[in-house]
Amino acid sequence: MGGENDTLVSEFLLLGLSEEPELQPLIFGLFLSMYLITVLGNLLIILAVSSDSHLHTPMYFFLCNLSLVDICFTSTTVPKMLVNIQSQNKAITYEGCITQMYFFLLFGGLDDFLLAVMAYDRYVAICHPLHYMVIMNSRLCGLLVLVSWGMSALNSLLQSLIVLPLSFCTNLEIPHYFCEFKSMLQLACSDTLLNNMVMYLVSVLLGGGPLTGIIYSYSKIVSSIRAISSAQGKYKAFSTCASHLSVVSLFYGTILGVYLSSAVTQSSKSSSVASVMYTVVTPMLNPFIYSLRNKDIKRALKGFYGL
């Protein structure tokens, strides 16, 4: 496009989930409630695990990290949305939009990596129980989390940096409630071929890689469980990974649903509504999934409250 259509960007407009004024109080109340539940639920998991020495194991170490990331992931998008609704101002600065996009990609990627790390932890626990504490030592656990942070940080930094040279057209309205990477690319007047190539390559490598690891780990877990002779032994082995499997199914299921719905409807508004599932609902449900089916977490929570 010509230079006359370009503009020196100072801010974008986040259109949110709905532009209907009468729906804004309902959306505000709903998202404030979900945000508070997410923060409180995940914070309780962290406090329960930290306060109970019996839970100082690799599995709960990774769970604490997942809970922390879920708090940060939701905090990247929801507070700004709530502020915009309350102030009736849809604006977000250019710098704020890039920053929000960076942290959204960072914590979204971390969720992905940590779920894969937790799947590996369950694989070692079930397939190599006698060597579990030797293999999953504190050094390896720390290294796995550190590598997850490093890979996610590099990915989000790369994708944020290649957005900076882009010039944007006069239409600066993002049909979303946060600065989604793909939505920003659609507003650019300059060539976004490189950005799209990087986005799809990263999706395959950093999205498909952890998912492949999860599928491989659970294929080995299923084989090991089938080899157990007693029904009680099978149930006990399966129960140790049931919560994680539920979270994995919810996380990848909602993301897949969002992208399939956006591909079918081609509606950015439908895509933004559907994305609420993996950006807000999934982090909110994770503490319930892990606490309701986990006797150790329940015991730790009761001990934390002195019950």
Secondary structure (3-state) at 57: coil
| Low-confidence residues in the chain, pLDDT < 50 | 1-6
8 Å CB contact between 234 and 225: yes
| pLDDT at residue number 306 | 59
Q: What angle do CA 95, 96, 101 make, to 5 degrees?
A: 100
Domain boundaries, the chain: 9-305
Return the pLDDT at 263. Answer: 59
Q: Give the pair of three-digit tokens for residue 23.
A: 């729906």
pLDDT at 1: 40
What is residue 154's predicted lDDT score, i.e. its pLDDT? 92
pLDDT at 8: 62
Residue 12 contacts residue 91 (beta carbons within 8 Å): yes
- The dihedral formed by the CA atoms of 104, 110, 115 and 120, expressed in degrees to the nearest 10: 170
d(CA 41, CA 291): 9
Asked whether 144 and 136 are in contact (CB, 8 A), the reply is no
pLDDT at site 265:
59
9-305 placed in CATH 1.20.1070.10: yes
- Model confidence pLDDT, tens digit, residues 194-211: 888 888 888 788 878 899
Whole-number pLDDT of residue 292 = 67
pLDDT at 261: 64
